[in-house]
């Protein structure tokens, strides 16, 4: 029997060891951006082509570093001009000191960083899991777009479960999909490999989605995936050819887990664009509308975060993915606790 642990406390520690996106790569040109992760203010910038994530407050007087600018040797604080190196965060210049004056050991904390799926990712501590590996079929003439980040008053797991739920389509998404979406969810089986889940299902959008685009608005095949804890994907295959890829990432902004920043990536292949006549702009508008219809739902659920105790809510066969997801997440937290030990 697995020993009882304080799951909430273990999760707080665990999430500091998880890769999360904190900015879109396309926004990171000459701009210095603010970021936030688990209650920690961050600054995100690019130096000589490489993304950097560092503490968001200057160690001198606590001013917001995202008000500063990039310079030859790193990032410059907007208040007193202190400059911090990009890799180590070491303070390399204090203009108020005479030339040759000793700076001492002053650092701006820096964090691991990588770029993937159109976003800049970081972790507050040594990552416990690898970066999520998303399945995208090759050689399809993909075009990709990355949605504008959006902040929500809900939990990371709440948002992740919502993204995978097709039983709510006829009720929440009648505006975007139309009134004829099939209500019945066929039985499906969730498979698991490590800390990743996948399941396949079909549904019928009723012929009115995407302005009634015949090849895209009726029966579709959905291949869902979740890389724990929060990287959720759906790969859509249309019966007359064509594929769509959609990924959602939920970054917890505060340590209490009650606010998240939604990041997302959309891809459509050449057949969708050239044969079925739905270009990226049209598909982007459609997906954005779907997300916006979900916002008032996920912001008005209680509890704010999806409970890990399965006995506190009711479930049906349509919720099988949610049950497997919560069980796997609890198992992951126990594994982390065993590997990491007491704080």
Tokens found for residue 222: 């959905």
C-beta of residue 267 within 8 angstroms of C-beta of residue 296: no
Q: What is the pLDDT of residue 47?
A: 95
Instruction: Tell me the domains of the chain and their CATH numbers.
Output: 19-122 (2.102.10.10), 143-334 (3.90.380.10)
Report the alpha-carbon distance of residue 292 to residue 155 in Å, rounded: 17
pLDDT > 90? residue 317: yes
Percent of the chain with pLDDT over 90: 86
- The mean pLDDT of the chain is 94
Q: What is the pLDDT of residue 342?
A: 59
Report the alpha-carbon distance of residue 268 to residue 339 in Å, rounded: 40
Mean pLDDT in residue range 185-212: 92
Residues 6+ apart with CB under 8 A from 2: 334
SS3 47: strand
pTM given for the model: 0.95
C-beta of residue 266 within 8 angstroms of C-beta of residue 291: no
Mean pLDDT in residue range 166-180: 93
The 3-state DSSP composition of the chain as helix, strand, coil percent (nearest 5) reads 25, 30, 45
pLDDT > 60? residue 2: no
C-beta of residue 92 within 8 angstroms of C-beta of residue 74: yes
pLDDT > 50? residue 1: no
Q: What is the pLDDT of residue 343?
A: 59
pLDDT > 70? residue 142: yes
C-beta of residue 252 within 8 angstroms of C-beta of residue 8: no
Mean pLDDT in residue range 253-273: 96
pLDDT > 90? residue 96: yes
SS3 5: coil
Residues 6+ apart with CB under 8 A from 137: 235, 243
Mean pLDDT in residue range 108-122: 97
- In terms of pLDDT, which residue wins out, 134 or 122? 122
Report the alpha-carbon distance of residue 9 to residue 125 in Å, rounded: 16
Q: What is the pLDDT of residue 3?
A: 63
- In terms of pLDDT, which residue wins out, 335 or 30? 335
């Amino acid at each position: 029997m697995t020993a009882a642990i304080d799951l909430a406390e273990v999760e707080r520690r665990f999430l500091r060891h998880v890769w999360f996106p904190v900015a879109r790569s396309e926004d990171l040109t000459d701009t210095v951006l603010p970021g936030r992760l688990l209650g920690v203010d961050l600054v995100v910038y690019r130096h000589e082509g490489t993304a950097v994530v560092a503490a968001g407050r200057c160690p001198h007087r606590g001013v917001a570093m995202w008000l500063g600018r990039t310079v030859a040797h790193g990032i410059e604080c907007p208040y007193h001009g202190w400059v911090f190196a990009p890799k180590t965060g070491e303070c390399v210049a204090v203009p108020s000191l005479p030339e040759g004056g000793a700076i001492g050991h002053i650092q701006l904390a820096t964090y691991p960083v990588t770029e993937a799926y159109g976003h800049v990712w970081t972790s507050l501590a040594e990552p416990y899991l690898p970066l999520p590996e998303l399945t995208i079929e090759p050689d399809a003439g993909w075009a990709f777009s990355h949605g504008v980040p959006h902040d929500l008053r809900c939990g990371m797991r709440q948002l992740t479960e919502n993204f995978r739920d097709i039983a709510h389509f006829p009720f929440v998404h009648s505006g975007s999909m139309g009134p004829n979406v099939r209500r019945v969810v066929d039985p499906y089986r969730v498979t698991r490999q490590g800390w990743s889940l996948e399941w396949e299902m079909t549904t019928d959008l009723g012929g009115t989605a995407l302005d009634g685009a015949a090849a895209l608005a009726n029966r579709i095949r959905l291949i869902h995936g979740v890389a724990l804890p929060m990287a959720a994907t759906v790969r859509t295959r249309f019966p007359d050819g064509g594929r769509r890829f959609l990924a959602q990432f939920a970054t917890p902004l505060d340590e209490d887990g009650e606010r998240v920043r939604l990041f997302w990536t959309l891809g459509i292949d050449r057949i969708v664009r050239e044969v079925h006549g739905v270009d990226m702009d049209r598909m982007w508008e459609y997906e954005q509308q779907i997300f916006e219809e979900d916002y008032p739902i996920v912001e008005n659920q209680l509890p704010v975060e999806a409970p890990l105790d399965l006995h506190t809510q009711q479930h049906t066969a349509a919720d099988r993915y949610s049950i497997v997801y919560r069980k796997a997440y609890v198992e992951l937290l126990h594994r982390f606790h065993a590997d990491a030990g007491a704080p």
